[in-house]
Amino acid sequence: MPEYKKYSRDIWDYIKELSYMPSREDRGNLFLDKKKRDRVKLWDYFFRIKPKDAGIPQRKEIASIKKEVRGAIRKCEQRENEVLDKIDFLEKKARKKAFLRVILGLVFLGTSILLIRLLPTTESLSEQKRYLFYISFSFAWLFVGGLLISILYIKGGEKKEINELTLELKELKKILSERILKAKKRISTLKKEVARLRRQIPKPLSGKKVREWLDEEFNKLWHYTKTEIALVREIIEIQSKDPENKIKNPLSILGPGELQREFPRRFLESVNKDLYKHIRARQTYPLDHNKYGVLYDILYGVYFLEYIVIAEDMLVTHCFFYDFIDDRVSSEYTAEQYYTDVVALSIEKKDRKLPVESNNYVGNPEVVHIEDSPTFTLSLKSGEIHKVTFVSQNYFESIKTKLQINPNHIDKIYWIGQSQRTAEHVIKSLREYLRHHKALP
Protein backbone atom coordinates (compact mmCIF):
# COMPACT_ATOMS: atom_id res chain seq x y z
CA MET A 1 0.00 0.00 0.00
CA PRO A 2 1.17 3.61 -0.61
CA GLU A 3 2.39 5.82 2.21
CA TYR A 4 -0.49 6.97 4.34
CA LYS A 5 -1.76 10.52 3.95
CA LYS A 6 -2.00 12.81 6.96
CA TYR A 7 -5.24 14.72 7.53
CA SER A 8 -6.08 17.83 9.48
CA ARG A 9 -7.69 17.27 12.88
CA ASP A 10 -9.62 20.55 12.64
CA ILE A 11 -13.22 20.15 11.44
CA TRP A 12 -13.22 23.69 10.00
CA ASP A 13 -10.51 22.79 7.50
CA TYR A 14 -13.04 20.58 5.74
CA ILE A 15 -16.09 22.84 5.26
CA LYS A 16 -14.72 24.17 1.96
CA GLU A 17 -15.64 20.74 0.57
CA LEU A 18 -19.24 21.09 1.80
CA SER A 19 -21.21 23.06 -0.77
CA TYR A 20 -24.05 23.83 1.64
CA MET A 21 -21.70 25.54 4.12
CA PRO A 22 -20.27 29.08 3.94
CA SER A 23 -16.51 29.46 4.17
CA ARG A 24 -14.43 29.13 7.31
CA GLU A 25 -13.51 32.80 6.89
CA ASP A 26 -17.17 33.79 7.11
CA ARG A 27 -17.40 32.22 10.55
CA GLY A 28 -13.95 33.46 11.50
CA ASN A 29 -14.87 37.08 10.74
CA LEU A 30 -17.57 36.93 13.42
CA PHE A 31 -15.15 35.42 15.91
CA LEU A 32 -12.50 38.09 15.24
CA ASP A 33 -15.00 40.90 15.84
CA LYS A 34 -15.36 41.16 19.63
CA LYS A 35 -18.75 42.83 19.28
CA LYS A 36 -20.05 39.98 17.12
CA ARG A 37 -18.15 37.05 18.58
CA ASP A 38 -21.23 35.73 20.34
CA ARG A 39 -23.02 35.57 16.98
CA VAL A 40 -20.83 32.62 16.05
CA LYS A 41 -23.54 30.67 17.90
CA LEU A 42 -26.09 31.94 15.38
CA TRP A 43 -23.77 30.95 12.53
CA ASP A 44 -23.53 27.47 14.05
CA TYR A 45 -27.32 27.36 14.43
CA PHE A 46 -28.08 28.11 10.79
CA PHE A 47 -25.12 26.31 9.24
CA ARG A 48 -24.76 22.80 10.57
CA ILE A 49 -22.22 20.26 9.43
CA LYS A 50 -24.00 16.99 8.82
CA PRO A 51 -22.35 14.19 10.83
CA LYS A 52 -22.28 12.04 7.70
CA ASP A 53 -20.13 14.70 6.02
CA ALA A 54 -17.48 14.81 8.74
CA GLY A 55 -14.16 13.39 7.52
CA ILE A 56 -15.11 12.91 3.86
CA PRO A 57 -11.45 12.48 2.75
CA GLN A 58 -10.88 9.89 5.48
CA ARG A 59 -14.02 7.99 4.52
CA LYS A 60 -12.97 8.10 0.88
CA GLU A 61 -9.65 6.55 1.87
CA ILE A 62 -11.47 3.90 3.91
CA ALA A 63 -13.57 3.06 0.85
CA SER A 64 -10.42 3.00 -1.29
CA ILE A 65 -8.63 0.68 1.15
CA LYS A 66 -11.61 -1.67 1.26
CA LYS A 67 -11.74 -1.69 -2.52
CA GLU A 68 -8.02 -2.44 -2.76
CA VAL A 69 -8.27 -5.23 -0.17
CA ARG A 70 -11.26 -6.77 -1.94
CA GLY A 71 -9.27 -6.64 -5.18
CA ALA A 72 -6.26 -8.24 -3.49
CA ILE A 73 -8.48 -10.98 -2.05
CA ARG A 74 -9.96 -11.66 -5.49
CA LYS A 75 -6.49 -11.88 -7.04
CA CYS A 76 -5.30 -14.12 -4.22
CA GLU A 77 -8.32 -16.39 -4.61
CA GLN A 78 -7.80 -16.46 -8.36
CA ARG A 79 -4.12 -17.36 -7.95
CA GLU A 80 -4.98 -19.90 -5.25
CA ASN A 81 -7.43 -21.61 -7.60
CA GLU A 82 -4.81 -21.62 -10.35
CA VAL A 83 -2.20 -23.13 -8.00
CA LEU A 84 -4.63 -25.72 -6.65
CA ASP A 85 -5.61 -26.68 -10.19
CA LYS A 86 -1.93 -26.96 -11.09
CA ILE A 87 -1.20 -29.08 -8.01
CA ASP A 88 -4.16 -31.31 -8.82
CA PHE A 89 -2.90 -31.69 -12.39
CA LEU A 90 0.62 -32.52 -11.20
CA GLU A 91 -0.66 -35.03 -8.65
CA LYS A 92 -2.67 -36.81 -11.36
CA LYS A 93 0.34 -36.75 -13.64
CA ALA A 94 2.53 -38.10 -10.85
CA ARG A 95 0.07 -40.92 -10.19
CA LYS A 96 0.04 -41.87 -13.89
CA LYS A 97 3.85 -41.89 -13.96
CA ALA A 98 3.98 -43.93 -10.78
CA PHE A 99 1.64 -46.50 -12.31
CA LEU A 100 3.72 -46.58 -15.50
CA ARG A 101 6.93 -47.00 -13.49
CA VAL A 102 5.40 -49.97 -11.66
CA ILE A 103 4.42 -51.65 -14.94
CA LEU A 104 7.81 -51.02 -16.52
CA GLY A 105 9.53 -52.19 -13.34
CA LEU A 106 7.62 -55.47 -13.40
CA VAL A 107 8.50 -55.96 -17.07
CA PHE A 108 12.14 -55.18 -16.27
CA LEU A 109 12.15 -57.57 -13.35
CA GLY A 110 10.49 -60.38 -15.33
CA THR A 111 12.79 -59.94 -18.29
CA SER A 112 15.87 -59.89 -16.07
CA ILE A 113 14.82 -63.10 -14.31
CA LEU A 114 14.10 -64.79 -17.62
CA LEU A 115 17.47 -63.86 -19.06
CA ILE A 116 19.29 -65.00 -15.97
CA ARG A 117 17.47 -68.36 -16.05
CA LEU A 118 18.37 -68.80 -19.72
CA LEU A 119 22.13 -68.47 -19.15
CA PRO A 120 22.76 -72.11 -18.16
CA THR A 121 20.96 -73.45 -21.22
CA THR A 122 23.67 -72.13 -23.55
CA GLU A 123 26.07 -74.96 -22.67
CA SER A 124 24.07 -77.52 -24.63
CA LEU A 125 23.84 -75.35 -27.72
CA SER A 126 26.08 -75.63 -30.77
CA GLU A 127 28.64 -72.93 -31.37
CA GLN A 128 26.56 -71.31 -34.13
CA LYS A 129 23.38 -71.30 -32.03
CA ARG A 130 25.34 -70.10 -29.01
CA TYR A 131 26.60 -67.20 -31.11
CA LEU A 132 23.08 -66.32 -32.15
CA PHE A 133 21.95 -66.67 -28.53
CA TYR A 134 24.59 -64.20 -27.29
CA ILE A 135 23.58 -61.71 -29.94
CA SER A 136 19.90 -62.08 -28.94
CA PHE A 137 20.87 -61.99 -25.27
CA SER A 138 22.77 -58.73 -25.81
CA PHE A 139 19.79 -57.16 -27.51
CA ALA A 140 17.59 -58.36 -24.64
CA TRP A 141 19.86 -56.64 -22.10
CA LEU A 142 19.80 -53.56 -24.21
CA PHE A 143 16.01 -53.73 -23.97
CA VAL A 144 16.22 -54.18 -20.20
CA GLY A 145 18.60 -51.21 -19.99
CA GLY A 146 16.13 -49.15 -22.01
CA LEU A 147 13.39 -50.14 -19.57
CA LEU A 148 15.56 -49.03 -16.66
CA ILE A 149 16.34 -45.70 -18.33
CA SER A 150 12.62 -45.22 -19.06
CA ILE A 151 11.75 -45.84 -15.43
CA LEU A 152 14.31 -43.27 -14.32
CA TYR A 153 13.13 -40.75 -16.94
CA ILE A 154 9.43 -41.18 -16.13
CA LYS A 155 10.14 -40.45 -12.47
CA GLY A 156 10.15 -36.64 -13.24
CA GLY A 157 9.97 -33.69 -10.77
CA GLU A 158 6.20 -33.38 -10.03
CA LYS A 159 6.70 -33.71 -6.30
CA LYS A 160 9.30 -30.94 -6.28
CA GLU A 161 7.04 -28.65 -8.31
CA ILE A 162 4.09 -29.42 -6.03
CA ASN A 163 6.18 -28.48 -2.99
CA GLU A 164 7.21 -25.21 -4.65
CA LEU A 165 3.60 -24.37 -5.48
CA THR A 166 2.50 -25.21 -1.93
CA LEU A 167 5.13 -22.83 -0.55
CA GLU A 168 4.03 -20.15 -3.03
CA LEU A 169 0.42 -20.55 -1.88
CA LYS A 170 1.41 -20.32 1.77
CA GLU A 171 3.48 -17.16 1.09
CA LEU A 172 0.62 -15.64 -0.89
CA LYS A 173 -1.80 -16.14 2.00
CA LYS A 174 0.74 -14.75 4.44
CA ILE A 175 1.21 -11.57 2.37
CA LEU A 176 -2.57 -11.17 2.02
CA SER A 177 -3.07 -11.69 5.75
CA GLU A 178 -0.46 -9.03 6.54
CA ARG A 179 -2.06 -6.66 4.05
CA ILE A 180 -5.52 -7.18 5.54
CA LEU A 181 -4.15 -6.64 9.06
CA LYS A 182 -2.41 -3.42 7.97
CA ALA A 183 -5.61 -2.26 6.25
CA LYS A 184 -7.68 -2.96 9.37
CA LYS A 185 -5.29 -0.90 11.49
CA ARG A 186 -5.40 1.98 9.01
CA ILE A 187 -9.21 1.85 8.80
CA SER A 188 -9.43 1.81 12.59
CA THR A 189 -7.18 4.89 12.76
CA LEU A 190 -9.23 6.70 10.12
CA LYS A 191 -12.50 5.89 11.88
CA LYS A 192 -11.11 7.34 15.09
CA GLU A 193 -10.15 10.50 13.18
CA VAL A 194 -13.68 10.78 11.76
CA ALA A 195 -15.18 10.27 15.23
CA ARG A 196 -12.85 13.00 16.58
CA LEU A 197 -14.02 15.39 13.84
CA ARG A 198 -17.67 14.63 14.55
CA ARG A 199 -17.16 15.50 18.20
CA GLN A 200 -15.98 18.95 17.07
CA ILE A 201 -19.30 19.74 15.35
CA PRO A 202 -20.83 22.54 17.47
CA LYS A 203 -24.03 21.77 19.30
CA PRO A 204 -26.54 24.36 18.04
CA LEU A 205 -28.61 26.57 20.29
CA SER A 206 -32.22 25.60 20.82
CA GLY A 207 -34.75 27.12 18.45
CA LYS A 208 -36.46 28.78 21.40
CA LYS A 209 -33.29 30.66 22.41
CA VAL A 210 -32.64 31.80 18.85
CA ARG A 211 -36.26 33.02 18.58
CA GLU A 212 -35.83 35.02 21.79
CA TRP A 213 -32.59 36.45 20.41
CA LEU A 214 -34.30 37.39 17.14
CA ASP A 215 -37.20 39.06 18.96
CA GLU A 216 -34.70 41.15 20.91
CA GLU A 217 -33.06 42.25 17.64
CA PHE A 218 -36.43 43.09 16.09
CA ASN A 219 -37.30 45.13 19.18
CA LYS A 220 -34.02 47.08 18.87
CA LEU A 221 -34.72 47.77 15.19
CA TRP A 222 -38.25 48.88 16.02
CA HIS A 223 -36.98 51.31 18.67
CA TYR A 224 -34.29 52.54 16.29
CA THR A 225 -36.96 53.37 13.72
CA LYS A 226 -39.12 55.08 16.30
CA THR A 227 -36.42 57.12 17.98
CA GLU A 228 -33.88 57.78 15.22
CA ILE A 229 -35.75 57.60 11.93
CA ALA A 230 -38.95 59.31 13.07
CA LEU A 231 -37.26 61.53 15.65
CA VAL A 232 -38.77 64.82 14.47
CA ARG A 233 -42.24 63.45 13.89
CA GLU A 234 -45.13 63.58 16.29
CA ILE A 235 -45.96 59.91 16.56
CA ILE A 236 -49.56 59.26 17.49
CA GLU A 237 -50.93 56.45 19.61
CA ILE A 238 -52.98 54.08 17.51
CA GLN A 239 -56.27 53.22 19.06
CA SER A 240 -57.64 49.70 19.01
CA LYS A 241 -61.17 48.45 19.42
CA ASP A 242 -59.75 45.86 21.75
CA PRO A 243 -58.32 47.76 24.78
CA GLU A 244 -56.18 44.76 25.73
CA ASN A 245 -54.64 44.58 22.26
CA LYS A 246 -52.55 47.74 22.05
CA ILE A 247 -51.29 48.51 18.55
CA LYS A 248 -47.59 49.37 18.37
CA ASN A 249 -46.53 52.35 16.30
CA PRO A 250 -44.43 52.03 14.12
CA LEU A 251 -46.36 49.28 12.41
CA SER A 252 -44.19 46.49 11.08
CA ILE A 253 -44.40 43.90 8.37
CA LEU A 254 -41.69 41.44 7.42
CA GLY A 255 -40.86 38.46 5.30
CA PRO A 256 -37.89 36.18 4.57
CA GLY A 257 -35.14 37.90 2.63
CA GLU A 258 -35.07 35.08 0.07
CA LEU A 259 -38.76 35.57 -0.70
CA GLN A 260 -38.46 39.17 -1.87
CA ARG A 261 -38.60 39.83 -5.59
CA GLU A 262 -35.27 41.63 -5.41
CA PHE A 263 -32.54 41.67 -2.81
CA PRO A 264 -29.26 43.57 -2.41
CA ARG A 265 -26.39 42.86 -4.76
CA ARG A 266 -24.18 41.80 -1.85
CA PHE A 267 -26.39 38.73 -1.38
CA LEU A 268 -26.00 37.55 -4.98
CA GLU A 269 -24.12 34.28 -5.33
CA SER A 270 -21.94 35.75 -8.07
CA VAL A 271 -20.87 38.53 -5.70
CA ASN A 272 -20.51 36.77 -2.34
CA LYS A 273 -21.19 33.06 -1.97
CA ASP A 274 -21.10 33.27 1.82
CA LEU A 275 -23.79 35.97 2.04
CA TYR A 276 -25.81 34.13 -0.59
CA LYS A 277 -25.95 31.24 1.85
CA HIS A 278 -26.96 33.68 4.61
CA ILE A 279 -30.04 34.77 2.67
CA ARG A 280 -30.93 31.14 1.90
CA ALA A 281 -30.45 30.01 5.51
CA ARG A 282 -33.44 28.73 7.47
CA GLN A 283 -34.05 26.37 10.36
CA THR A 284 -37.24 24.81 11.69
CA TYR A 285 -37.96 23.90 15.29
CA PRO A 286 -41.05 22.64 17.16
CA LEU A 287 -42.76 24.84 19.72
CA ASP A 288 -43.60 23.57 23.19
CA HIS A 289 -45.85 20.57 22.53
CA ASN A 290 -47.54 20.77 25.92
CA LYS A 291 -48.49 24.38 25.28
CA TYR A 292 -49.13 24.48 21.55
CA GLY A 293 -49.53 20.88 20.43
CA VAL A 294 -48.04 20.23 16.98
CA LEU A 295 -46.78 23.66 15.91
CA TYR A 296 -43.55 24.81 14.25
CA ASP A 297 -41.58 28.00 13.90
CA ILE A 298 -39.14 28.76 11.09
CA LEU A 299 -36.23 31.12 11.57
CA TYR A 300 -34.31 32.79 8.73
CA GLY A 301 -30.79 34.10 8.34
CA VAL A 302 -31.93 37.27 6.54
CA TYR A 303 -35.23 39.17 6.79
CA PHE A 304 -36.78 42.07 4.93
CA LEU A 305 -38.58 44.49 7.22
CA GLU A 306 -40.71 47.55 6.60
CA TYR A 307 -41.67 49.81 9.48
CA ILE A 308 -44.43 52.33 8.93
CA VAL A 309 -44.49 55.23 11.33
CA ILE A 310 -47.91 56.82 11.65
CA ALA A 311 -47.32 60.48 12.52
CA GLU A 312 -49.78 63.34 12.92
CA ASP A 313 -49.27 64.78 9.48
CA MET A 314 -47.59 62.05 7.44
CA LEU A 315 -46.31 58.50 7.14
CA VAL A 316 -42.66 57.56 7.46
CA THR A 317 -41.63 54.29 5.85
CA HIS A 318 -38.37 52.64 6.82
CA CYS A 319 -37.41 49.41 5.06
CA PHE A 320 -34.23 47.33 4.89
CA PHE A 321 -32.74 43.86 4.74
CA TYR A 322 -31.50 42.58 8.05
CA ASP A 323 -28.82 39.88 8.22
CA PHE A 324 -29.64 38.29 11.55
CA ILE A 325 -26.47 36.18 11.51
CA ASP A 326 -24.14 39.12 10.93
CA ASP A 327 -26.30 41.77 12.64
CA ARG A 328 -26.10 44.00 9.59
CA VAL A 329 -28.67 46.24 7.95
CA SER A 330 -28.39 46.76 4.19
CA SER A 331 -30.33 48.51 1.42
CA GLU A 332 -31.84 50.80 4.03
CA TYR A 333 -34.46 53.14 2.61
CA THR A 334 -36.47 55.83 4.38
CA ALA A 335 -39.23 57.95 2.88
CA GLU A 336 -41.82 60.42 4.13
CA GLN A 337 -45.15 60.89 2.45
CA TYR A 338 -48.32 62.76 3.22
CA TYR A 339 -51.43 60.70 3.66
CA THR A 340 -52.88 62.25 0.53
CA ASP A 341 -49.91 60.84 -1.44
CA VAL A 342 -50.94 57.25 -0.67
CA VAL A 343 -52.86 55.88 -3.62
CA ALA A 344 -53.49 52.28 -2.62
CA LEU A 345 -52.93 49.65 0.07
CA SER A 346 -53.37 46.01 -0.83
CA ILE A 347 -52.23 42.44 -0.51
CA GLU A 348 -51.42 41.16 -3.97
CA LYS A 349 -51.24 37.47 -4.73
CA LYS A 350 -49.15 36.50 -7.73
CA ASP A 351 -47.32 33.40 -8.89
CA ARG A 352 -43.61 33.40 -8.12
CA LYS A 353 -40.51 31.52 -9.16
CA LEU A 354 -38.05 31.11 -6.32
CA PRO A 355 -34.54 29.62 -6.52
CA VAL A 356 -33.84 27.46 -3.48
CA GLU A 357 -30.85 25.32 -2.61
CA SER A 358 -31.14 21.66 -3.51
CA ASN A 359 -30.61 18.92 -0.93
CA ASN A 360 -27.17 18.33 -2.46
CA TYR A 361 -26.40 21.92 -3.30
CA VAL A 362 -23.62 22.27 -5.86
CA GLY A 363 -24.08 25.86 -6.98
CA ASN A 364 -27.13 25.39 -9.20
CA PRO A 365 -30.22 26.02 -7.08
CA GLU A 366 -33.54 24.48 -7.94
CA VAL A 367 -36.39 26.73 -9.01
CA VAL A 368 -39.73 26.18 -7.31
CA HIS A 369 -43.06 27.67 -8.37
CA ILE A 370 -45.18 29.38 -5.73
CA GLU A 371 -48.83 30.02 -6.50
CA ASP A 372 -50.58 33.08 -5.03
CA SER A 373 -47.56 34.39 -3.16
CA PRO A 374 -48.90 37.25 -0.98
CA THR A 375 -47.24 40.68 -1.09
CA PHE A 376 -48.10 43.73 0.98
CA THR A 377 -48.20 46.74 -1.37
CA LEU A 378 -48.24 50.45 -0.64
CA SER A 379 -48.57 52.62 -3.78
CA LEU A 380 -47.84 56.35 -3.94
CA LYS A 381 -48.86 59.11 -6.35
CA SER A 382 -45.29 59.40 -7.56
CA GLY A 383 -45.46 55.85 -8.86
CA GLU A 384 -43.26 54.56 -6.08
CA ILE A 385 -44.39 51.19 -4.77
CA HIS A 386 -43.37 49.60 -1.47
CA LYS A 387 -43.60 45.81 -1.45
CA VAL A 388 -43.02 43.20 1.21
CA THR A 389 -43.58 39.58 0.26
CA PHE A 390 -44.45 37.42 3.25
CA VAL A 391 -44.87 33.72 3.83
CA SER A 392 -47.85 31.59 2.89
CA GLN A 393 -48.79 27.94 2.98
CA ASN A 394 -48.13 27.67 -0.75
CA TYR A 395 -44.59 28.93 -0.18
CA PHE A 396 -43.89 26.34 2.49
CA GLU A 397 -45.53 23.62 0.39
CA SER A 398 -43.14 24.51 -2.43
CA ILE A 399 -40.06 24.12 -0.23
CA LYS A 400 -41.33 21.33 2.04
CA THR A 401 -38.51 18.99 1.03
CA LYS A 402 -36.07 21.58 2.39
CA LEU A 403 -37.78 21.84 5.79
CA GLN A 404 -36.99 19.60 8.74
CA ILE A 405 -40.63 18.70 9.45
CA ASN A 406 -43.17 16.15 8.36
CA PRO A 407 -44.52 17.32 4.95
CA ASN A 408 -48.02 16.63 6.27
CA HIS A 409 -47.50 19.24 9.00
CA ILE A 410 -46.91 22.24 6.72
CA ASP A 411 -50.16 23.80 7.91
CA LYS A 412 -48.78 23.61 11.45
CA ILE A 413 -46.27 26.42 10.81
CA TYR A 414 -47.65 29.24 12.93
CA TRP A 415 -46.07 32.04 10.87
CA ILE A 416 -48.46 31.30 8.00
CA GLY A 417 -51.52 32.67 9.76
CA GLN A 418 -49.58 35.27 11.73
CA SER A 419 -48.11 36.92 8.61
CA GLN A 420 -51.48 37.22 6.95
CA ARG A 421 -53.06 38.67 10.10
CA THR A 422 -50.17 41.13 10.54
CA ALA A 423 -50.48 42.40 6.96
CA GLU A 424 -54.25 42.77 7.26
CA HIS A 425 -53.82 44.55 10.57
CA VAL A 426 -51.35 47.04 9.04
CA ILE A 427 -53.65 47.74 6.11
CA LYS A 428 -56.65 48.19 8.39
CA SER A 429 -54.80 50.60 10.66
CA LEU A 430 -53.42 52.63 7.74
CA ARG A 431 -56.74 52.82 5.96
CA GLU A 432 -58.38 54.25 9.04
CA TYR A 433 -55.88 57.12 9.21
CA LEU A 434 -55.90 57.61 5.49
CA ARG A 435 -59.67 58.05 5.51
CA HIS A 436 -59.40 60.41 8.44
CA HIS A 437 -56.78 62.66 6.84
CA LYS A 438 -58.27 62.63 3.36
CA ALA A 439 -61.58 63.64 4.87
CA LEU A 440 -59.99 66.79 6.39
CA PRO A 441 -60.68 70.02 4.48
Mean pLDDT value across residues 323-349: 90
Contact 301, 324 (CB under 8 A): yes
The least confident of 174-188, 299-313, 356-370 is 356-370
**Which pLDDT score, from 0 to 100, does residue 71 have?**
94
pLDDT tens-digit map of 226-265:
888 876 556 666 655 555 556 678 889 999 999 998 889 9
Contact 251, 222 (CB under 8 A): no
**Which pLDDT score, from 0 to 100, does residue 359 have?**
47
pLDDT tens-digit map of 259-283:
998 889 999 999 999 999 999 999 9
What's the whole-model pTM score? 0.78
- The domain locations on the chain are 73-179, 207-438
Contact 159, 94 (CB under 8 A): yes
pLDDT tens-digit map of 150-174:
655 555 567 788 888 889 889 999 9
**How many Cα atoms sit within 13 Å of 110 on the Cβ side?**
6
The least confident of 289-298, 331-340, 350-359 is 350-359
**Which pLDDT score, from 0 to 100, does residue 105 have?**
60
What sign results for the dihedral spanned by CA atoms 387, 217, 336, 434? positive
**Which pLDDT score, from 0 to 100, does residue 138 have?**
66
Mean pLDDT value across residues 359-363: 48
Q: Which of these, 254, 190, 193, lies nearest to 426 by C-alpha position? A: 254
pLDDT tens-digit map of 125-134:
666 666 666 6
| Mean model confidence pLDDT for the chain | 84
